[in-house]
């Protein structure tokens, strides 16, 4: 049962850890922000390159390969800190429309990032396809952040 | 004009009230602030990591620097503009928030950092193409620490004691205190 699972999550040791001191939640949330600045920021650099708006002197494939480890570390930080915050109030969060929107966008963004977006940087790809991939990537990640911001206001 | 009366005047302006009580403007401006943080943060990270020699080592530093600069400037302008709007919405609360003052101090240090390293590091990026000295690496490390501190202190503003009693926004709404 999902409802049972969310209740169990709220009472889990890591949920208690998140509420153990007042500063833990904001500290974890700050890490979450640093994580997305790292991942989405480096993805945005590649996307701007694909759109021809920046870093035009290097090949998109080189740029993507250079930044990939930092993108991945950022994603890992996000995916660890996010569920930790979720666990503190899982029952309420999973019913929050902004949260649901964010999760759908996140799933699509991650799927897209590790499949088509990876191929879009290859030299053989048609420019229009690469640009579409970059625009879609920016749109998806923007939606993830915007959805996340709205969680506290809905 | 005393500081408190000035803050109260700011809070009574139409713009301040519209952002604070308008519903959507506050989260939207906050959202843009965050998104720009990702954009600007990524550019900054790439520049600083290049100085540290951890990314794009095949590219000369000046090349990376000049290509990222317009985007960094744009990001900086947006992040400051949206930050000002958010501060304009609730100056009275921010004035009593310790995290806000930590953030402003760090922001001032960012300015000091730029001035200190302008001459030897950022002013002549071409000179760093041959070899990146320890001073440039120090500048990069300090820059990363300052900006991480800005993010952390910025986030803490929503959680500190100035919020108690007068929760103007539900930024803090999902936090369940341990006493509960």
- Is A70's CB within 8 Å of B152's CB? no
Question: For the segment A28-60, what is each residue's pLDDT rounded down to a tens digit?
Answer: 999 999 999 999 999 999 999 999 998 888 889
Q: How far is CA A142 from CA A20, A40, A128, A138, B139, in A?
A: 32, 9, 21, 6, 30
Q: Is residue A36 part of a domain?
A: yes
Q: Is residue A140 part of a domain?
A: yes
Q: Is residue B180 part of a domain?
A: no
Residues 111-130 of A with CB under 8 A from B: none
What angle, 0 to 180 degrees and rounded to 10, lies between the N-to-C axes of helices A60-88 and B25-52?
130
Q: Is residue B44 part of a domain?
A: yes
Structural domain range at position A50: 23-151
Q: Is residue A125 part of a domain?
A: yes
- ipTM for the predicted complex comes to 0.86
Q: Is residue B87 part of a domain?
A: yes
Nearest-CA neighbor of A35 among B139, B174, B56, B148? B148
Chain B interface includes A139 (CB < 8 A): no
| A44, A63, A150: residue with CB nearest B39 | A44
Residue B16 pLDDT greater than 50, yes or no = yes
- Residue B131 gets the label, from left (phi > 0), alpha (psi -120 to 50) or beta, of beta
Q: Is residue A15 part of a domain?
A: no
% pLDDT > 70, chain B = 88
Q: Is residue B58 part of a domain?
A: yes
Question: For the segment B149-171, what is each residue's pLDDT rounded down to a tens digit?
Answer: 999 999 998 887 666 544 333 33
How far apart are alpha carbons B180 and B177 in whole angstroms? 6
- Is A45's CB within 8 Å of B63's CB? no
pLDDT value of residue B148: 95
Q: Is residue B175 part of a domain?
A: no
Q: Is residue A6 part of a domain?
A: no
How far apart are alpha carbons B166 and B151 in whole angstroms? 23
Q: Is residue A70 part of a domain?
A: yes
Domain count across chain B: 1
Q: What is the pTM of this model?
A: 0.88
Nearest-CA neighbor of B118 among B127, B129, B131? B127
Structural domain range at position B92: 3-159
Q: Is residue A5 part of a domain?
A: no
Token pair of B170 as six digits: 């539900």
Domain count across chain A: 1
Rg (CA), chain B: 19
Q: Is residue B169 part of a domain?
A: no
- Is A152's CB within 8 Å of B170's CB? yes
């Amino acid at each position: 049962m999902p409802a049972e699972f969310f209740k169990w999550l709220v009472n889990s040791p890591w949920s208690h850890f998140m509420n153990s001191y007042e500063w833990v939640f904001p500290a974890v949330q700050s890490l979450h922000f640093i994580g997305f600045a790292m991942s989405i920021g480096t993805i945005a650099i590649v996307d701007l390159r694909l759109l021809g708006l920046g870093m035009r002197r290097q090949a998109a494939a080189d740029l993507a390969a250079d930044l990939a480890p930092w993108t991945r570390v950022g994603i890992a930080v996000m995916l660890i800190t996010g569920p930790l915050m979720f666990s503190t109030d899982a029952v309420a969060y999973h019913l929050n429309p902004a949260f649901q929107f964010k999760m759908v966008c996140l799933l699509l963004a991650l799927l897209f990032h590790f499949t088509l977006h990876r191929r879009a940087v290859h030299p053989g790809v048609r420019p229009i396809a690469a640009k579409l991939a970059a625009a879609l990537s920016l749109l998806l990640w923007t939606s993830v952040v915007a959805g996340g911001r709205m969680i506290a206001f809905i | 004009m005393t500081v408190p009366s000035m803050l109260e005047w700011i809070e009574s302006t139409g713009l301040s009230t519209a952002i604070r009580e308008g519903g959507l403007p506050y989260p939207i401006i906050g959202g843009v602030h965050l998104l720009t943080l990702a954009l600007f943060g990524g550019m900054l990270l790439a520049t600083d990591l290049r100085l540290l020699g951890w990314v794009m080592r095949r590219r000369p530093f000046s090349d990376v620097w000049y290509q990222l600069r317009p985007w960094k400037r744009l990001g900086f302008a947006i992040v400051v503009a949206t930050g000002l709007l958010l501060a304009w919405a609730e100056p009275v609360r921010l004035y009593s928030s310790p995290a806000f003052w930590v953030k402003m101090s760090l922001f001032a240090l960012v300015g000091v950092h730029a001035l200190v390293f302008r001459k030897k590091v950022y002013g002549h990026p071409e000179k760093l193409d041959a070899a990146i000295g320890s001073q440039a690496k120090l500048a990069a490390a300090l820059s990363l620490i300052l900006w991480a501190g800005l993010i952390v202190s910025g986030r803490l503003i929503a959680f500190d004691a100035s919020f108690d009693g007068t929760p103007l926004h539900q930024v803090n709404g999902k936090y369940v205190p341990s006493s509960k």
